[in-house]
Structure 1
Amino acid sequence: MAAKTKAQDIIDNNAVAVFSKSYCPYCKATKSLLSEMGAKPYIIELDQVDDGAAIQDALEEMTHQRSVPNIFIDKKHIGGNSDLQGKKSELPNMLKAAHAI
């Protein structure tokens, strides 16, 4: 339960939240794209925190997505890297609306 609360707090308190794993190439692509767009996402590397596995379980329960990256913009679940890349043209407006850039 603590992991679900922590995940929700991260989502609620950050314009852009990325649940990531440090070695994941898709996570790197997501972080790159957000950086290129001028966003400063809150990034939590689930493989580098003690409760990472529990947070990943909680995210799966919340979003029905097990994989990383698990991306939220303005408290809305975007999905993974391919979902984010697919929204490239909308991304600047989404980030502005979220006050992330």
Structure 2
Amino acid sequence: MERVRKLASEKGVMIFSKSTCCLCYSVHLLFRELGIDPYVHEIDHDPEGKEIEKALLRMGCNGPVPAVFIGGELVGSTNEVMSLHLSGSLVQRLKPYQKLS
């Protein structure tokens, strides 16, 4: 769990993902469309991926992936991200991390 916290705190917007997960891809695409270039950590390419997956579940993510962190804080998985987006509060949380045009 410490490695997950460390990785998430080092990046502004972090997505723990699996390369074959369509929901992970959709969340990543949403962030890109909002002007965010998130750091994506593919846990299926990490030798400690199973441990990361367990840690994410223990931290409260309701599916192991996608697990989204903003500013080192766990936002959640697809449902939580989409709820924030639909309410308009996701954009506000992402403002400090948007690319300058």
For 1:47, the equivalent position in structure 2 comes to: 44
Which deviates more from structure 2 when the two are superposed, residues 55-64 or residues 6-15? 55-64
Runs of 4+ in structure 1 over 6 Å off:
none
- The alignment's C-alpha RMSD in Å is 1.3
Which deviates more from structure 2 when the two are superposed, residues 68-77 or residues 25-34? 68-77
Gaps of 5+ in 2: none
- Rounded to whole Å, the distance in 2 between the matches of 1:17 and 1:62 is 15
Instruction: Give the aligned residue type for 2:84.
Output: K
Q: Is the 8 A contact 1:20 1:68 kept in 2?
A: yes
- Rounded to whole Å, the distance in 1 between the matches of 2:55 and 2:62 is 10
Instruction: Give the aligned residue type for 1:75.
Output: G
For 1:60, the equivalent position in structure 2 comes to: 57
Size of the aligned set, in residue pairs, is 96
Q: Is the 8 A contact 2:62 2:76 kept in 1?
A: yes
TM-score with structure 2 setting the length: 0.86
For 1:11, the equivalent position in structure 2 comes to: 8
- Rounded to whole Å, the distance in 2 between the matches of 1:13 and 1:84 is 20
Q: CA deviation at 1:52?
A: 0.7
TM-score with structure 1 setting the length: 0.86
Q: CA deviation at 1:65?
A: 3.1
- Percent identity between matched residues is 28
For 2:72, the equivalent position in structure 1 comes to: 75
Gaps of 5+ in 1: none
- Rounded to whole Å, the distance in 2 between the matches of 1:65 and 1:12 is 20
